[in-house]
Amino acid sequence: MTTTPSDPSSAPGGRPPVVGMAAWQAARDELLVREKAHTREGDALAAARRRLPMVEFDGSVEVVGADGPVPFRDLFQGRDELVVYKHMWYDGAPHQGQCEGCTTTAWHLKEADYLHARGVSFAVLTPGRWDEVAAYVAFMGYTQPWYSVRDVDGPAGGSMGYLTAYLRDGDRTFLTYSTTGRGNERVNGSLGLLDMTPYGRGEAWEDHPEGRPEGRHACWYWRTDADGNATWGPTSRPVPQWSRPGATPVETLGRQGDHH
């Protein structure tokens, strides 16, 4: 049952104003016009993305996966299109010391069934040594294929922290698109859901109505300690790691190695 407050302008401190259903629907419809325009602009950008030129590279360059060294073109798994995430790596660091930002992307891409149904393969690339990478993948429970691109240059390797798309034509391979930073948000469904909530992501850069909770630094909740307290200190892990079997309280990030 929906009720209308006696004073529609009143609301608990720091929360949206309370109104009746008709007023809410009018405000929602007004915002919907802007949301549809945003969607149409996104469609136009996607159309422009499909018209980008591409760069051919040597698909025979070897990367290392669970079955040992394989040519990069094998990552297509017989399909014509491939999307990868390039995961940063700290050499020699324990699991909790690996990149929290890359964890958010990889964690949200644990399954690729719908990509496969559309004829697109998916893999994660990282410059870590394969023995370290294999142990990390097993701990995290990732089911998608990972490959070490250590010492691999060019489009098959290169800088990490990117979502990248490739096209195959027989034995020829091409780089078609790459994005990083907030471009990676397209696969992070949690951020999309948080953007729907009245308090948003809880980050200081957001435009919040007056009286709402003050935001903290970007991505502040991506690491927590064993008690669930948000912290980027030495007792923290990337949030999903606490759900993994065998995860224990920690005292150091262990990032003594190089960050690739």
Tokens of 183: 């471009």
Place of tokens 């949030």: 239
Tokens of 21: 């259903």
pLDDT at 220 over 60: yes
If you average pLDDT over residues 169-173, what whole number do you get? 97
pLDDT at 3 over 50: no
What residue spans of 51-158 are helical by DSSP H? 100-107, 113-117, 130-140
Q: What distance in Å separates the CA atoms of residue 168 and residue 174, rounded to the nearest whole number? A: 6
If you average pLDDT over residues 147-156, what whole number do you get? 97
The pLDDT, as a whole number, for residue 255 is 86
| Residue 153 DSSP SS3 | coil
Closest residue by Cα to residue 216 from 227, 231, 234, 233: 231
> Is residue 10 a part of any domain in this protein?
no
The pLDDT, as a whole number, for residue 13 is 72
> Is residue 85 a part of any domain in this protein?
yes
If you average pLDDT over residues 23-49, what whole number do you get? 98
Tokens of 75: 């990552």
> Is residue 22 a part of any domain in this protein?
no
pLDDT digits (tens, 9 = 90+) for 81-91: 999 999 999 99
If you average pLDDT over residues 118-132, what whole number do you get? 98
The rounded percent of the chain whose pLDDT value lies above 90 is 89
CATH number of the CATH domain containing 177 = 3.40.30.10
Rounded to two decimals, the pTM is 0.92
pLDDT digits (tens, 9 = 90+) for 55-81: 999 999 999 999 999 999 999 999 999
> Is residue 112 a part of any domain in this protein?
yes
pLDDT at 151 over 50: yes
Cβ proximity of 81 and 120 under 8 Å: yes
CB atoms near residue 26 (< 10 Å): 12
In order, the DSSP letters of 11-45 are: -STTSPPP--HHHHHHHHHHHHHHHHHHHHHHHHH
> Is residue 157 a part of any domain in this protein?
yes
Q: Which one is predicted more confidently, 214 or 51? A: 51
Q: pLDDT grade, residue 1 (50/70/90)?
A: very low
> Is residue 201 a part of any domain in this protein?
no
Closest residue by Cα to residue 129 from 6, 13, 258, 250: 258
Element (DSSP H or E) covering residue 46: helix 21-50
Tokens of 62: 């070897």
The pLDDT, as a whole number, for residue 203 is 96
Average pLDDT, the chain: 94
Looking at the structure of the chain, the number of domains it has is: 1
> Is residue 40 a part of any domain in this protein?
no
b vs e for 206-240, b when ≥16 Cβ sit within 10 Å of the residue's Cβ?
A: eebeeebeebeeeeeebbbbeeeeeeeeebbbbbb
CA dihedral 69, 70, 75, 78 (to 10 degrees): -150
If you average pLDDT over residues 210-235, what whole number do you get? 95
> Is residue 108 a part of any domain in this protein?
yes
The pLDDT, as a whole number, for residue 14 is 82
Question: Which structural domain range is residue 173 located in?
Answer: 55-188
Q: pLDDT grade, residue 258 (50/70/90)?
A: low
pLDDT at 12 over 70: no
Q: Which one is predicted more confidently, 61 or 257? A: 61
